[in-house]
Chains A and B, each alone.
Chain A
Amino acid sequence: MRSSGQIDQGGAEGVPTGSPAAADPVADPREADFQALIDADQRIEPRDWMPDGYRKTLIRQIAQHAHSEIIGMQPEGNWITRAPSLRRKAILMAKVQDEAGHGLYLYCAAETLGVDRAELIDLLHQGRQKYSSIFNYPTLTWADVGAIGWLVDGAAITNQIPLCRCSFGPYARAMVRVCKEESFHQRQGFESLYTLSHGSPEQHEMAQDAVNRWWWPSIEMLGPPDTDSTHSAQSTAWGIKRFSNDALRQRFVDMVAPQAVVLGLTPPDPELRWNEQRGHYDFGEPDFEELRRVVGGDGPCNRQRAAHHLKAHEDGAWVREASAAYAAKHAATTAAA
């Protein structure tokens, strides 16, 4: 899977949000009941009263998460026709299909907040809603498919597991489903990279090259550092965000660093080492300037990804028109009978 901390932090992309600063100074009396439910670790359901900022924050976050799933089909879809075996091809198709499914679970959750999926897709096409920075990197070799499964899906899982306990019921339920399916994604990636790494010297080199390119973007996709994270406090109070970006990043590095040893691959971070005292891995400073650039639209593939999505949407218009016409005709026949 596929979400990223930086999209959970509206501030990173300068998308206006219903932040506390924008909240109505005259507090609604229902707000106390709402907050009491959250503080009691209860879930908020779609028809409950909720502050405007909560609704807006969730729509933005869930939509951007959904867009990430859908755009995330592109880098891997790029390799379906060239997968090295039927087994790998079947696995990759199943995975890309899952990403489509995850996008749909999430659009469905967003729609319970009173927006229509078509509106959200328009916002994506207009560049007014973002998706995860990670999908703006190209997949240059077959090994990239393995690296994405291991690292990108690994980072996404780290971010998504706490979202299974998010205060908004439909989002939390969608995340439970996503996380269940996601563990296959990470394992197939690990297995694929392991096979390459223990194959011929050329295959090993290809796996190492993929890890060199995907390591830092995966660490960066967990979002800007806590010091730059503008919406964390309110999102935490609302039970949307459970752990800070830096805490999730540490958890991710602690998970993948020992796995890299088993893979026989070396992460491109000379500062990566176990810190006995902290009980965690130390690691180098991610290039957050690069993250800002990629989120801001200047990654290697931003234009290509957006153009492809728009083209696929427009090319599919005749299918939607035809099925609507068929449904209308069929409804008329049924009514007449």
Chain B
Amino acid sequence: MSILVDKNTRLLVQGITGKEGSFHAKRCKEYGTNLVSGVTPGRGGTMFDETVKVFNTVEQAVAETKANVSLVVVPPAFAADAIAEAMDASIKTVVCITEGVPVLDSVKVVDYARRNGVALIGPNCPGLISPGGKCKVGIMPGHIHKAGRIGVVSRSGTLSYEAVGQLTAMGIGQSTVVGIGGDPVSGTDFVDVLRRFNDDAETDAVVLIGEIGGSKEQEAAEYIKGHFKKPVAALIVGQSAPPGRRMGHAGAIITGAAAKADEKMKALRAAGAAIIPSPGDIGRTAQELVTDKKK
């Protein structure tokens, strides 16, 4: 099994006729994802990649193609509107790749999503992939993944690729890899993903990759301590980042004690997570977790 997306996923891509949207829609389809439709206002009635119907509205796309997951690949100014349209059409899993969404826009749609039981992943995230179910809803390079039983959750896209690369090289497969995104306000946080991994019978252990800024890692530590039944290996990056400077991600800025890397590691260690000492040790630490479990 896996979490959030799998072989039952019927994917809709919002912004499918755009440069980015069409590129990534094709890659998802090639990976094996069941891409059922696309939406671009004004382009309804056309076909994408010869087999995929394009609609003017999400409501029409859902009615005709029973899409149940939406991948939002639209420019930042239109992202909140696109997410709201998907939620209004009763889609319960919405993945927003767009980087640079104004945070006050995110605040509104994230609040709506949480009140209405929608799993909104992102904005500013690479999306998610379940290698076993051949389902990719995002922009990650699909070929580096391998089906297996380790869950990965990360604020950073490239760093989740790094983690997957190391795991796959060691023969360790992944159940689902979720990039929650680098913005300060995102729809899904570590805790939401951990909760799902906790209930997933086919995830044995989790690699969690956090970074400086905010307190999402501390919230994860609280949850791990009280509720999480599986081993966790955690990496926190940005140990060498100075306070007050934004490290690329909108959310990666040290603005108080809790935002520092060592505070996050302390909290996760106290919660029982194995701390990955350096970014090159992700695979090795995960292997130790899995081996310990078998003993």
A binds B: no
Mark B residues whose CB is within 8 Å of A.
Answer: none
